Each structure stands twice: as structure tokens, then as C-alpha cells.
Structure 1
Amino acid sequence: MVTTGEARSTGSTTPTPLQGALFTEVLPEEMTDSVGYRGPAACRAAGVTYRQLDYWARTGLLEPSVRNPSGSGHQRLYSFRDILVLKVIKRLLDTGVSLQQIRIAVAALRDHGVSDLAGITLMSDGATVYECTSDDQVIDLMRGGQGVFGIAVGSVWREVEGSLAELPSERPDDEEPAVHPDDELRARREQRNAG
């Protein structure tokens, strides 16, 4: 995490955001835990495969926060925040950051409210991920040679928001259909079990 005035690698204390949030404190319902997106929709919005999504949920890297049922036949529901973090994970993986460092970064991001995430820039030198909450922190990392690339979470936010506007959402208390039309893995499993 970052403390005021200096950037440190993720894992220490929770910072007070220095940048203004891009969005107001009152979030639209689609960005709260009262609305969720099924796995296939989360995959499309985040740019990950369903296999990656399932693996990360089973290993605890990122579990769905709206509905995380155990057992087969139940749908996970991912919140806007979950999908935002999924897209950040994907970007970090694409730049070569190790899964171990990504786990540390994701744990640090969990400590932030949804609106706080918009003011964060994740910087990395390929080995360590740094959380910056001000332009000065980004500049200090670059001057010190620690920052090779950065991910502005606010821009990722806007991408996810645009993608989810076109995808179906549901409430966690909605009744689940027997087979969701987009749930390819469940359909294959049921075909295999039927003979």
C-alpha cells in the first residue's frame, strides 16, 4: 500500500487517497453488491477465460462477492468491483507480473472501497507491484527506476463500465434457471453426465 507522500510495495498500511475519486460516493446500483454478473458475462467484460475465472475463484485469488455458492449447479455472481479487479489481474498477468505478486496486489485492493479504486495507479517493475494514489508517487517511482509500467485503475473502471452496460445482470435473490444459455461448462457437464 501507499502512505501519504511515498510509494511502497503493496502489503503495508491503507492509504488515504490523495487523488479525487472519478465518481461520486453514491454509486449506481449496478456498481454495488445488489447486482451481479454471471461468469460468462464477467469473462467477457474482464477479457479472461472461464477456466481462469473458475481457477481464481477456487484458489481464492478472487471470489465472487455477490453470490459464491458451493457445489455444482449454482451460478456465481460477480460484482462490478470483482470484474474491475479481474481486469486489473488480467492486465498484470499480460505484463508478466507473477501470480504471487498479483495475489498481494489483489489483497491490497480489497481494502479499498469501490470509489477509492478509481484514484489508484498500480505501478510495477515486473517483480513488485506498487500502489500509487498521487501523481507525485508515480513520478517518484519512475525517477527511482522502480516503475516500468502502470495501470490507471480509473481507466480500467471506465472500460468495465462500458462493457457491462451491454451485458445481462441479475440480483442475487433472483431464481436461477436450470441452465443459463451462456453457461457452456455446465451444459457440457450435464451432457457428459446424461450419457
Structure 2
Amino acid sequence: MVNTGEARSQKSAAPAPLQEPLFTEDLPESMTDAVGYRGPAACRAAGVTYRQLDYWARTGLLEPSVRNVTGSGHQRLYSFRDILVLKVIKRLLDTGVSLQQIRVAVGALREHGVADLAGITLMSDGASVYECTSDDQVIDLMRGGQGVFGIALGSVWREVEGTLSELPSERPESELPAEHPGDELRARRERKTG
């Protein structure tokens, strides 16, 4: 268990996962960085506004990992993992966890591979966020007598996967070519500067 607010001792034995990983071998292509989702699709799947998404990308809370470009005419592309973390951020915000604690929790989640995320449950008492990978860790938190809530990333995974299956995706290399017929403004700028 990783407490993102304060240090807690870990048990010496390897913890048993709360659930089996959803994918033990290779992930489907839609869950890798080979496929990305534009901002509106990411917003819809995660339940956040485009304004939130843009702010979090600009402040470094969660930058898109497939394609992170700036300027007009370019589209950020978010991976499955990015959208999974976006949905977790939204849930933590909805329960009153501070953005500062969420930044620490997101930092801890970044250290895990996509397949690892499915076996994690995040617990929070509203002030701190705890990463639990075994039933014992969850029980220890609940024995403290303080109210806690949990987010099982496996169930969030399935929600995001279901929503994204209905939304358009694209490959990062599908950016507009330099001589795209509909990009007249770009062509004019290049003629002016060239």
C-alpha cells in the first residue's frame, strides 16, 4: 500500500492482488499508445469537461501520451491509460480530494504499467489517497475507524473500455500532411515565409 499523504510500513510478504489482471499477456492495440483518442472523446469517456482536460494538460497533471502538441490545427491524442487516469482524477475530485493530493496519486499511478493498474484499489479518507494491492491493506485502512471510500481501477477500466469502444480513435501518425487540400491557411503561411 502506498500512502500518497504519509509513509506507512508495507508488509514483508508480497501482497495478493485484489483481482486478477484483466490482461496477462499483450494488451489489445486499442489500449496501447498505438491508438489515441482526441480531447472530446477523452472528455466523454472520463466524464470531464474540455476546459478541465485542457487545464490539466497545460499544468502537467495529465499530459496526453500519444500526441501532445500545441498550437492551432493540432489535436492532442490521449491513450487508454490516460483516459483511465482521467476518470480516476474525476472520481477523486468528486469525493473532495484536493488537487494537490490527486497530483501525488497520479504520480504514483504513472509508475505502473497499464496492466498493473487493473489490480489496484485506491482508497481515500478525503485527505490522503492510499494505493492498495491486497485485501489486507484495504481491511487495515477500514479498521482505523475512519470513513474511507475506494475506487477499484479494474471496474473503472471496464467502464472506460466500454465507452471508448463506441468512440472514434486514430493513430498518431494520422496528422494532417503538409499539403492537405483543406489546409489553405497553412499553405498561405508557408508561401509568405518561404
Same fold at TM > 0.5? yes
How far has the Cα of 1:8 moved from its partner? Answer: 3.2
Query: What is the root-mean-square deviation in Å for CA atoms of aligned residues?
Result: 2.1
- The structure with the larger Rg is 2
Correspondence 1:26 to 2:26? yes
**Correspondences of 1:72-151 after superposition (within 5 Å):** 72-146=72-146, 148-151=148-151
Could you tell me whether the CA contact under 8 Å between 1:125 and 1:148 is conserved in 2?
yes
**1:36 Cα shift?**
0.1
1:9 aligns with 2:26: no
**Secondary structure in 1 aligned to 2:174?**
coil
CA displacement 1:168-194 (0-9 Å, x = unmatched): 00000013398xxxxxxxxxxxxxxxx
Number of matched pairs: 172
Q: Is the 8 A contact 1:84 1:156 kept in 2?
A: yes
Q: Does structure 1 retain, via aligned residues, the 8 Å contact 2:142–2:148? A: yes
Distance 1:138 1:147 in 2: 12
Alignment identity in percent? Answer: 82
Amino acid at match of 2:3: R
Displacement after TM superposition at 1:23 (Å): 1.9
Indicate the SS of the match to 1:123.
strand
Question: Counterpart of 1:78 in 2: which secondary structure?
Answer: coil
> Structure 2 length as normaliser, TM-score?
0.83
Note the 1:30-49 alignment, pairs <5 A: 30-49=30-49
CA distance in 2: counterparts of 1:154 and 1:83, whole angstroms: 13
- In structure 2, relative to structure 1, the CA distance for the partners of 1:18 and 1:10 (3 Å cut) is farther
Paired AA for residue 54 in structure 1: D
**Unmatched runs of 5 consecutive residues or more in structure 1:** 179-195
Change (3 A) 1:127 1:72: same
Moved over 3 A (4+): 7-13, 15-18
Secondary structure, counterpart of 2:66 in structure 1: coil
TM-score, normalisation: structure 1: 0.82
